[in-house]
Structure 1
Amino acid sequence: MLVSSVGDFYDVLAADYHLIFPDWDASMTAQARALDGVVRARLGPGPHRVLDCSCGIGTQAIGLARAGHRVVGGDLSPAAVARAAAEAAARGAVLPVTVADMRELPYRAAVFDAVVCADNSLPHLLTTADVRTALAGMRRVLRDGGLLLLTVRDYDEVRAARPTSTPPQVSTTARGRAVTFQLWHWHDDGERYDLEHFQLVPATGGGWEVRVRRTAYWALTRAEVSDAVADSGFSEVSWHDPEASGFYQPLLTARRV
């Protein structure tokens, strides 16, 4: 199976990314409420300087900006950050954006109070060296005592079960319902997998248009993520389950020391 680069994957997905959610604006609001609560509980009332280093089309960054934080969005997909800026402006939010790989963050040292890396973005990095490079960069741009917020898919059970697909998700478009699901193709190491991202959208004149994008992930367990974060110079590494945080994925928080 031909797997595109991560940047290419999100470039072609950018226009349709919101269809992953039944209601993107409602999801944006709920996710920002959860992350904002964590940030203010640990850093004080703010507002705070926040970098979303894998902002995509702005799902977390726009909501955090609307909550009053001074947010910068970075992502390696030019199409995604362009849409993030446009969607933020349409909602009255200020969101400066930068095309940036999380392994080469182009920001000054110690400039942010918090760094967000959400939506299972870190596991796109397929080697230990790349994961450590990205985390070191996040630490560099945080001030002393700054907060890292990292969310990933709950891979602990996934690694054992090795599922080959995800349940379909249905959202509504102006022309009718759209369906999103994934097929997973596991590597022999049992840790990494190639992903086929399918979207069925209503076609002009009836029927379905099928859109397929391909990328790869590393199914990092919580222990592996925790170790990498701690080894990168963070302290107070802790996990927060969705029931406690309100965020839809497991959330790791850690402090820069």
Structure 2
Amino acid sequence: MLDAIQNVNWHVNWPDDAAGNGVSREETREVLLRRPYWTAPGPDGTTLVYGLTDAGRHLLVSVVAEGEDVLVVGARDMKESWDASYTGAAPPPWDIGRPQPAFVRLADEGRLRGRVLDAGCGTGEHTLLAASRGADATGMDLSPTAIRRAREKAAERGVSARFEIADALELPRRAVVFDTVIDSAVLHVLDAEDRAKYVAGIASVLRPGGVCHLICFSDRQPGSWGPRRFRADELHAAFSDGWAIESLTADTFQLNPFHGVHEAHAWLATIRRK
């Protein structure tokens, strides 16, 4: 579907209400023509296109492709509609139904310990991994559907963990202090302003000496689809104030098949709060 959208001549039938929630036609053009990163089947024969504007805004655009025409039937800010990622006929690319191997290795090494916060937990695989290894684990995500599925998994597996519908950008409002934070593909979907807010939020809920284990796409990953690719120096810059990066190693991030890719080049970082 991405190829179909990007290769058509641009003849858009734009309904009067398609640009709701403050989304402009130009932003929608940017997403569909230049910066889409994945698609999923939507309701009533539509396709949901997720993408990034040139200004770094994540949008969800609902379209119907008809020959050389792309009919836009809706456009929303992803921050306000994240739940749509989990309500399509297919799971989002990052929801592979198991923990990322990098975090399994960390768990095997006993490094997911104490009070653990899984920020942007999705359907809970990393929260449940930490809890199954004895951690006091909490997962949080914006999506009510993802949190519901995470709670269902916990019940099915007999694992005790807490799951909350919450925004990872509102961490400073939390009273609980954690020993460990898990970030599986959160940082790399944030724009510069939100990244700074997010990193400060992690620091506010992580005890001095606590660690954040983070995985994100690296600049070795070819192509322009998907989230931001980080260079090593950009990660060092993001965590320059009050942090020490203890390790930063090349790794992989597994995906549901997406653009023919089953895994992407990634960075795995262990970052300690000073």
TM-score bracket, normalised by the shorter chain, equals 0.5 to 0.7
Q: 2:191 maps to what in 1? A: 126
For 2:159, the equivalent position in structure 1 comes to: 93
> Deviation string for 1:206-241 (max 9, x for gaps)?
xxxxxxxxxxx433322112211123x111442023
TM-score, normalization by structure 1: 0.64
Deviations 1:171-192 (A, max 9, x none): xxxxxxxxxxxxx3xxxxxxxx
Candidates 215, 223, 230, aligned match of 2:233: 223
Q: Which amino acid aligns with 1:108?
A: A
Please name the residue that 1:146 is paired with. 210
State which of 128, 145, 149 in structure 2 corresponds to 1:62: 128
1:1-257 matched pairs, under 5 angstroms: 1=28, 3-4=59-60, 5-7=77-79, 10-15=82-87, 20=93, 24=97, 27-28=98-99, 30=101, 32-37=103-108, 40-41=110-111, 47-105=113-171, 106-108=173-175, 111-118=177-184, 120-127=185-192, 129-154=193-218, 156-158=219-221, 161=222, 163-164=223-224, 184=225, 217-231=227-241, 233-242=242-251, 249-257=266-274
Aligned equivalents of 1:12 and 1:54: distance in 2?
Answer: 15
Alignment check: 8 A CA contact 2:243 2:271 kept: yes
Distance 2:83 2:153 in 1: 16
**How far apart in 1 are the matches of 2:190 and 2:202?**
14
Structure with greater proportional helix content: 1
Q: Give the residue type in structure 2 aligned to 1:36.
A: A
Question: Which runs of 5 or more structure 2 residues have no equivalent in the other structure?
Answer: 1-27, 32-58, 61-76, 253-262
Against the structure 1 CA distance between its residues 103 and 92, is the aligned structure 2 distance closer, same or farther, given a 3 Å change threshold?
same
SS at match of 2:167: coil
Q: Is the 8 A contact 2:113 2:180 kept in 1?
A: no
In the superposition, relative to structure 1, how do residues 22 and 132 fare at CA in structure 2: closer, same or farther (>3 Å)? Answer: closer
- How many Å separate the matches in 1 of 2:139 and 2:93? 20
| Partners of 1:23 and 1:103 in 2: CA distance | 24
Q: How many residues align?
A: 189
Q: Is the 8 A contact 1:32 1:64 kept in 2?
A: no
Which has more radius of gyration? 2
CA contact (8 A) 1:234 1:256 kept: yes
1:68-114 per-position Cα deviation (integer Å, ceiling 9, x unaligned): 111000112222122111111111111211222222114225x1110
**What is the one-letter code of the residue matched to 2:247?**
S
Q: Point out where structure 1 has 5 or more consecutive residues left out of the alignment.
A: 165-183, 185-194, 196-216
CA contact (8 A) 1:10 1:80 kept: no
Q: 2:244 is aligned with what amino acid?
A: S
Cα distance in structure 1, aligned partners of 2:94 and 2:168: 24
The answer on whether the counterparts of 2:236 and 2:245 sit within 8 Å (CA) in structure 1 is no
What amino acid sits opposite 2:125 in the alignment?
A: T
Report the CA distance shift for 1:14/1:227 in structure 2 as closer, same or farther (over 3 A): same
CA distance in 2 between counterparts of 1:70 and 1:220 reads 31
| Distance of 1:19 and 1:49 partners within structure 2 | 28
